Structure 1
Amino acid sequence: MNRLAFLLATVFAFHTFAAETTVETDPRLHSDGKGWKLNQATIKDPKRPRVLLIGDSILSGYMAHAIKKLDGMAYVDAWVNPYNQSEHLNTKILPEVLAKGPYDVIHFNMGLHGWQEGRIKPGTFEPLTKGYVDAIRAKLPNAKLIWASSTPVLLEGDVKKIDPVINGTIIEHNRMAAQVMAECGVPVSDFYALLVDKLDLARGGKDKFHWNGPAYQILGDKCVEEVLKVMPAAK
């Protein structure tokens, strides 16, 4: 392949991947940051462990804190994305991201984009969630995995109350995902439990989903704590 063909192929691949990470029709579920994308670390020492953080817009809030705490110990990539469980995610999109590795530790979450009726067909949540784990292990069999539960969803205009409809789905999805992780032997970062008694840290107003800085620091600290438990030493 000549240089021009290589450059064109690279640009095409980038745009194809970028296009895969821009689908969210619900304006309430915005990226809450610099967009849906894979933020990649610059690798200078190949002996240092690599970590991949996967999550929805909540990851936008805590990833900088987690990356800073792991600075000097690991290179951290962070994939902020709008996906819920699906076969297409498991078989095409996720493997493309994992190919950016290899990664030693993967701390992952997906939940805030799957509560709307029709997005995940009844009876498929658990097998698709297991398929997600299987897809990671097929691509990176030596990676250590950690799953993070989804955070609470509040009632619009009242940061002291939980949304009874949406949050009910979040709780059920967290429960089913936790069951899958138990069966797969994947440890848990229980983000939901960390914030459910700290609703005063929510952003509030018309924003039902996002949080203020102190909440994201709590999540970042928990993320790093769990990553360090399983992260290998530098080679």
Structure 2
Amino acid sequence: MQPVIPVAVRLETGGGRVADLPDDFAAPLYFSNRSTVETKRLRTVGGRTEFERDRQMKILRWLSDRERPGRPRVLLIGDSIRMRQADTTGYGLHAYRALVNDYNLSHISHNTENSGLVRELIDDWLQCAPDVVHYNAGLHDLSRHPRTDVLPPWHHPVDRYQDNLRFVIGRMREHGVRTIVWASSTPVHDGWHDVDVRTGRPRGVRRKNADVIRYNAAAAEVMAAEGVPINDLYARVMNEGVERCLVPDGVHLSHHGSAVLGAQVAETITRLHPPRPEHAATPGKHDGSTT
């Protein structure tokens, strides 16, 4: 097996602005080249989940048209709440638009799913040397089989979830990340999520909002002990209105929810890790509050 080779893919736009390319931002990035193709297979061995990468890795995608000296590097890590899902954008695009003039911004081109996958790949991702990491995992960790309630391979009980979070925070600090921001997991609309309204059938995974609350509380314990600030996306969705912020699958963000959370992510990053004064754009107003 060949070694895993970290790859950063820089988006070149010539005279154009990357902010004018939202579709390109939101779409996952795939390569057929053998050194950069990424796939992930899960297998359960002796009750444990192992991640097989086979010469592959998650691709870091740079979203600035060039690496601009003196501007902080920001890395966004998160699941499909961050990314485009179906016909919605996720909060990442909106955060990018708000931050692009003051920061060098990157994200993982794929869904980073659960805390175990983040633990497995965090050292690869951190080779882009970010100053700021905005991080979430949870909605995959707490998911279950809809009929049998059997834990799928990517499910992590609360104690293992907390251990994964501690490990990742530790690795970020060892890599020299200056500002770490934890984002709470967003709510689940139980009524919408249990059954697909189009087919009347149970969905492929089961999530309950009570579990979201429980896992968020567990994550908050870890972040309090580690001194990591929390961007409370859960509270913002609840305050804004769950039915306004989610699409009918009961999990993913609507356009409104994506915009609201993107503004809050941008405001949080700007407040906790301000850009250098000579690079700061004219301040804009961002809605949202954090804890």
TM range (shorter): 0.7 to 0.9
What's the counterpart of residue 192 of structure 1? 234
Number of residue pairs matched? 204
Is the counterpart of residue 94 in structure 1 residue 94 in structure 2?
no
d(CA) in 1 for partners of 2:275 and 2:246?
37
Q: Residue 157 of structure 1: CA displacement?
A: 3.7
The percent identity for this pair of structures is 28
Alignment of structure 1 residues 161-200 onto 2, 5 Å: 166-197=208-239, 198-200=241-243
Is the counterpart of residue 39 in structure 1 residue 61 in structure 2?
yes
Which runs of 5 or more structure 2 residues have no equivalent in the other structure? 8-32, 43-57, 84-89, 145-150, 194-205, 279-291
Q: Residue 121 of structure 1: CA displacement?
A: 4.0
Give the alignment's TM-score, normalised by structure 1: 0.77
Q: Is the 8 A contact 1:104 1:232 kept in 2?
A: no
Report Cα offsets for 1:171-224 as digits up to 9, x if no partner. Answer: 11100101100111110100000012411214443x121121111111111111
Report Cα offsets for 1:9-56 as digits up to 9, x if no partner. Answer: 9744412xx224x77xxxxxxxxxxxx864322433222111111111
Seen in structure 2, the aligned counterparts of structure 1 residues 195 and 124 have a Cα distance that, compared at 3 Å, is same
Root-mean-square deviation over aligned CA pairs: 2.8
Bigger relative contact order, structure 1 or 2 (CA pairs below 8 A, ≥6 apart): 1
Which runs of 5 or more structure 1 residues have no equivalent in the other structure? 1-7, 24-35, 159-163
Partner AA of 1:52 in structure 2: L
Partner AA of 2:251 in structure 1: F
Higher helix share: 1
Tell me the SS of whatever aligns to 1:83.
Answer: coil
Partner AA of 2:257 in structure 1: A
d(CA) in 2 for partners of 1:71 and 1:49?
11
Partner AA of 1:67 in structure 2: Y
Higher strand share: 1
Seen in structure 2, the aligned counterparts of structure 1 residues 216 and 120 have a Cα distance that, compared at 3 Å, is same
d(CA) in 2 for partners of 1:45 and 1:55?
24
Structure 2 counterpart of 1:58, from 81, 96, 99: 81
What's the counterpart of residue 137 of structure 1? 173
Is the counterpart of residue 123 in structure 1 residue 159 in structure 2?
yes
Partner AA of 2:79 in structure 1: D
d(CA) in 1 for partners of 2:188 and 2:6?
42
Q: Is the 8 A contact 1:37 1:81 kept in 2?
A: no
d(CA) in 1 for partners of 2:131 and 2:158?
34
Structure 1 counterpart of 2:183, from 133, 137, 148: 148
Report Cα offsets for 1:38-88 as digits up to 9, x if no partner. Answer: 4322433222111111111010111111111112100111224243122x6
Tell me the SS of whatever aligns to 1:209.
Answer: coil
Give the alignment's TM-score, normalised by structure 2: 0.63
What's the counterpart of residue 106 of structure 2? 77
What's the counterpart of residue 26 of structure 1? none
